[in-house]
């Protein structure tokens, strides 16, 4: 991926978590950061994900390490492995919910599913920053990924909407806690992009069609859109910005509620 700011992250080192495949938003951000001059460290959650992540990481000459964000021991082990490394930025693109709970209504969520979604999708950011705090450079930037379902009801998004709302609240609290150290914490709220994770949402294709038809820019959000916005937040261009949820959704968030097709609206 080319970038209009080839030296924007020159000499910087960053950790990217959440790459699933070449279509994932985390991969788009990693490509853009590499093109902007950054040295990257990427992680994978398990052996199955390693098979996908390692070949991609090699394209960027990135270090690769295991890390399951649900295990404090693995976060601590990653921090231990990276001792002596200064992290100028971190990208947290980690979220998960049971596919069966991303259909129907919110009461379809089980207690186990709720705890899992909140743990992986929200608490993991808090745990990550706690573990990596000693490695963060002055003026480090941390970016996570959210979605408009955090503040508006999106059909079938269910527990992930609750998890993203919690994530955005965590961004504000972390920004306040880490701000005196110079660390910025922000979220990117991306429009629906056809990623592996997004396809787990029931009727996702209908969501894409609605977005493309109604968004002010009359098109879908792209991986490149999100990567470009991430470069801004990861770089010194956003030196005065923290605790924010930055929308990159071709303007969709300024519109009224998404219609519920099954209610005839």
Tell me whether residue 147 is one of the annotated catalytic residues: yes
Distance (Å) of CA 194 to CA 23, 72, 77, 198: 8, 31, 33, 6
Structure tokens that stand for 180 in this block: 């005196």
Structure tokens that stand for 112 in this block: 């186990």
For the sheet with 39-44, list strands across it: 63-66, 39-44, 13-17, 87-92, 136-146, 184-190, 245-248
Please pick, among 5, 44, 123, 157, the residue that the annotation labels catalytic.
157
- Measure the CA angle with vertex 128, ends 124 and 129; round to 5°: 125
* Contact between residue 225 and residue 182 where contact means Cβ atoms under 8 Å apart: no
Tell me whether residue 173 is one of the annotated catalytic residues: no
Please pick, among 5, 44, 147, 232, the residue that the annotation labels catalytic.
147
Residues designated catalytic: 147, 157
């Amino acid at each position: 991926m080319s970038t209009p700011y080839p030296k924007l992250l020159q000499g910087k080192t960053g950790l990217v978590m959440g790459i699933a495949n070449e279509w994932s938003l985390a991969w788009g951000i990693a490509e853009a950061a590499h093109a902007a001059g950054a040295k990257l460290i990427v992680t994978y959650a398990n052996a199955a994900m390693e098979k996908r992540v390692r070949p991609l990481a090699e394209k960027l000459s990135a270090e690769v390490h295991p890390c399951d964000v649900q295990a404090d021991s693995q976060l601590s082990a990653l921090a231990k492995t990276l001792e002596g490394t200064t992290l100028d930025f971190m990208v947290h693109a980690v979220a998960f919910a049971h596919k069966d709970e991303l259909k129907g209504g919110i009461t379809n969520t089980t207690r186990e599913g709720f705890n899992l979604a909140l743990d992986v999708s929200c608490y993991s950011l808090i745990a990550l920053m706690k573990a990596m705090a000693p490695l963060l450079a002055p003026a480090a930037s941390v970016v996570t990924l959210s979605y408009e379902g955090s503040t508006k009801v999106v059909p079938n998004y269910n527990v992930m909407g609750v998890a993203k709302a919690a994530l955005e609240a965590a961004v504000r609290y972390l920004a306040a806690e880490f701000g005196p150290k110079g660390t910025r914490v922000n979220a990117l709220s991306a429009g629906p992009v056809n990623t592996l994770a997004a396809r787990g949402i029931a009727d996702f294709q209908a969501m894409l069609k609605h977005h493309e038809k109604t968004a002010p820019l009359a098109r879908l959000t792209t991986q490149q859109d999100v990567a470009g916005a991430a470069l801004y937040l990861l770089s010194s261009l956003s030196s005065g910005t923290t605790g924010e949820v930055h929308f990159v959704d071709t303007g969709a968030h300024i519109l009224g509620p998404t219609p519920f097709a099954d209610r005839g609206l």
